Structure 1
Amino acid sequence: MKAEIISIGSELTSGKNLDTNSQWLSIQLAAMGIPVGWHTTIADDFDANLQAFDIASQRAGLVIASGGLGPTQDDLTREVLAKLINQPLEFHQPSWDTIVEMFTKRNRACPDRNKVQAFFPKGAEPIPNESGTAPGIWMKAKQSYIAALPGVPREMKSMFEAWLKTRLIELGLAQGVLIQRKINTFGLGESAIEEKLFDITKRGNDPEVGITASDAVISLRILASADNEAAAFKKIAPAEAIIRERLGELVFGVEEEELQDVVHQMLQKAGKTIATAESITGGVLASKFTKVPGASARYLGGFVTYTNDVKKSALGVPAELLEQFGACSKEVTLAMAEGCRERTGADFALATTGVAGPGGLSPDLPEGKVFVALAWKGGAHSETNQWFGNRNEVQSRTAKMALNILRLHLLKEAKHG
């Protein structure tokens, strides 16, 4: 059996609001072993809603909808569900009493219009709402169980946890557990990663391995279903071992770990400190370091040196280097890193330069061409890369590139001393 999640609201289809309910519901259902096959988002239109529920009730064993249960004219879910099963709406006095009581507790008069929230398709069961005025709806249509919940995330989550989750278990719809393991990598593109893992990412494998890309970070998602968590993780372990063996140092973390989290842990373990000198990234790299709790123990501070004059005065970059090679160059980036390290006393310093765009500076310096340097006592290293994307994407990816360069250097130090 697969589930379908329907999100209702013109504010969602217009892009004004982000649909976070579907994501949350999918995670909860996965934990119960109920796979989600479809996400559907529809505007506040009666015919479109009716069509969506009709299709969903034919292909999914469970349909969970959020939205459309308010008291206004564009809240259509009650009428749509009644039409779906060709039944009239019936007034439910206990639900109305609860709604009135909710307003009384808030020292507010209950508008007559809210009475529509106490109407349900004949044969449907109200789902209690302890956090708001809109009760949910539980019913059967064709081959599907349908649960309609409010669109307000706090109310929807509370009703799922307090009522719907128990009902799904009682009906035997929960099928064990569905566990996901996320492996995060940096340094290769999505297609190159897939080439290395082609055999284990084929459709139909158990466990299932998928690839997703987000701002230059490529994640492998291992999905396994089983009767319990231990059995699911036992399925996941061999696939994760293959991924780690084939990708090696491209793997930097798991689940929601970001590069700065891992780098901070490595600096902490090594007892080392870091400082930054930024041009192209304009403080983005410093921001990533300081997002980590306890960052001040390892991150000493940084410079944003956007002009040549400030590069010279703040970091001591020689004028002749700037004149000979230009600000966007390996040589200047190395000088920035060394100047930053000397002035802050940090064990390591990272520096960034490049062309964020829009537009390039020359054929040799197109939009997205970046330089990153790492300096430490007695040595330095620099890398260049060509990013494709808008200005914000180039800055963010360059900051991640810098973090990854430091990560790989710390790995090397840990191995060889």
Structure 2
Amino acid sequence: MDAEIIAVGSELLLGQIANTNAQYLSVQFAEMGINVFYHTVVGDNHKRLESALEIAESRSNLIVFTGGLGPTKDDLTKETIARHLGKKLVYDEPALHSIEEYFRKTGREMTENNRKQALIIDGSEVLPNDHGMAPGMVIKEKGITYMLLPGPPKEMQPMFTAYGFENLMKKMDKHERIESKVLRFFGIGESLLETKIEDLLDKQTNPTIAPLAADGEVTLRISAKHSSREKCEEMISESEKEILRRVGEFYYGADQTSLIKELVKELTVRKLSISAAESLTGGMFQEQLTSIPGAGKVFKGGIVSYTNEVKAEVLGVSEDTIKKFGVVSEECALEMAQNVRKQLGADVGISFTGVAGPDEQEGKPVGTVFVGIVLPDGQSVAKQLNLSGSRAQNRIRSVKYGCHYLLHQLKNTQ
């Protein structure tokens, strides 16, 4: 099957909500071996929806709609599709009974437009809504399968899992699945990584390898298609081994992990605590760290020392260091890391100081950053970064580099 997902709702076009339904369905379809070639978003307008439907029919044999099944006048998905297919709408009695029973139990008045939610396209297969009112439906006409699902994710996702998945699997001629694995790299640019694996990219068929870069990181998504999950995993593993043989020194984890998650994991395994002193990052490292479940086992606390006064009076950076080297310096970064580690009684100390932008500081250009690290044995190291980008990018990348450097130091320490 070649699928197109059409999300219906003007609120999506206005940016009031994100189209998470398309993301969810794309993941499900990939596992089922259904190709998703197009995502479309259209507002609550009959003519524009019909136009999107006609375009989808010209290029897809599975068209999935999310949204527009509710009780209001702007909920017009099933009306538009029924008219387009020359079908009438009829009441699904179990759905109508369920809606009536809901209003009876809650003691609320049931208005006539709520009955509208029980309407389905005549001849369609019903997908019960166990978490809401409007049922979903599936109808096949002239070789094209149309699936209509409700818009709220809390209704759509369980409906698809319980009923939509099985319905589509029965309609498929062959049951191939697509499995993927995402390899994550840091400290290497996208162009250099691609150069290292250029021959693998050139000859890829199955599995496929897709690079993607974001905020200083590079990922490679390896995807394999086969009827057997085990065979997919075997194919992915073979490609992964060859990739890591070439660029494994920059690899830090797979799939949904992140540098900060890997750092928490490493500290937890080693039973080490950490404290942080931040200047340009303004607490971003600590915010990211504490967003990870289990961070309380490793994180002692931190100090956001944004001004020179706080660096000196609270964090204890010596005035001589500030006068002689400045706060944007290796020496200041090391003192910040050493002092916060000592003050908070942590095993590891890390610090961030530098110029986020938009203006230079102490004669140093925007993007000059120093990361200080002190390990449990007292060994200390400072790393200088020369970043380019916006103020926000410089702060985000500083945190990522800090995680990267600290992970490297920990993994190379017995």
Shorter-chain TM-score above 0.5: yes
- Shorter-chain TM range is over 0.9
In structure 2, give the amino acid aligned to 1:384. Answer: Q
Q: 1:336 is matched by which residue type in structure 2?
A: M
Which SS does the other structure have where 2:212 is aligned?
strand
Structure 1, unmatched stretches of 5+, are none
Contact between 1:249 and 1:408, CA under 8 Å: does it hold in 2?
Answer: no
Change (3 A) 1:194 1:291: same
- SS of the equivalent of 1:168 reads helix
Provide the residue aligned with 2:370 in structure 1.
371
List aligned pairs for 1:264-413, cutoff 5 A: 264-361=264-361, 364-366=364-366, 368-376=367-375, 377-413=377-413
Cα gap change, 1:331/1:302 in structure 2, threshold over 3 Å: closer, same or farther?
same
Mapped pair 1:108 → 2:108: yes
- Counterparts of 2:275 and 2:85 in 1: how far apart (Å)? 65
2-side partners of 1:108 and 1:297: how far apart?
49
Change (3 A) 1:318 1:227: same
Alignment-derived partner of residue 215 in structure 1: 215
CA distance in 2, matches of 1:19, 1:271: 41
Distance (whole Å) between structure 1 residues aligned to residue 398 and residue 350 of structure 2: 11
Question: Corresponding residue for 1:148?
Answer: 148
The corresponding residue for 1:206 is: 206
CA distance in structure 2 between the aligned counterparts of 1:147 and 1:160, rounded to whole angstroms: 10
2:355–2:364 Cα contact (<8 Å) kept: no
Q: Could you tell me how far 1:304 is from its partner in structure 2?
A: 1.2
Q: Which runs of 5+ in 2 are unaligned?
A: none
Query: Which one-letter code corresponds to 1:228 in the other structure?
Result: S
Whether contact under 8 Å (1:54, 1:84) holds in the other structure is no
How far off is 1:37 after superposition? 1.5
For 2:248, the aligned partner's letter is G
Amino acid at match of 2:370: F
Aligned-pair CA distance for 1:108: 2.0
Corresponding residue number in structure 2 for 1:73: 73
What does residue range 128-207 of structure 1 map to in structure 2 within 5 Å? Answer: 128-172=128-172, 175-202=175-202, 205-207=205-207
Q: Secondary structure at the match of 2:74?
A: coil
- The equivalent residue for 1:46 is 46
Contact 1:57/1:142, CA 8 A, preserved across alignment: no
Q: For the structure 1 residues 89 and 257, does the alpha-carbon distance in structure 2 shift closer, same or farther, using more than 3 Å as the test?
A: same
Q: What is the rounded CA distance, in whole Å, between the counterparts of 2:201 and 2:121 in structure 1?
A: 45
SS in 2 for 1:277: strand
1:51 to 1:315, Cα distance in 2 relative to 1, 3 A = same
Once residues 284 and 84 of structure 2 are traced to their aligned partners in structure 1, the CA distance between those partners, rounded to angstroms, is 52
Aligned-pair CA distance for 1:243: 2.0
User: Deviation of residue 386 (structure 1)?
Assistant: 3.2
Q: Distance in 2 between matches of 1:143 and 1:6?
A: 18
Q: Once the 2 structures are TM-superposed, how far is the Cα of residue 246 of structure 1 from its aligned partner?
A: 1.7
Equivalents in 1 of 2:7, 2:81: separation in Å? 14
Please give the TM-score of this superposition, normalised by the length of structure 1: 0.92
Q: Percent identity, please.
A: 35
1:252-273 deviation per Cα after TM superposition (whole angstroms, max 9, x unaligned): 1111112122122222333433
How big is the shift at 1:86? Answer: 2.6
Aligned residue type for 1:86: G
State how far apart, in whole Å, the 2-side matches of 1:2 and 1:184 are.
Answer: 29
Q: CA separation in 2, counterparts of 1:49 and 1:362?
A: 58
**Partners of 1:233 and 1:319 in 2: CA distance:** 58
Distance in 1 separating the partners of 2:260 and 2:188: 18
Aligned residue pairs, count: 413
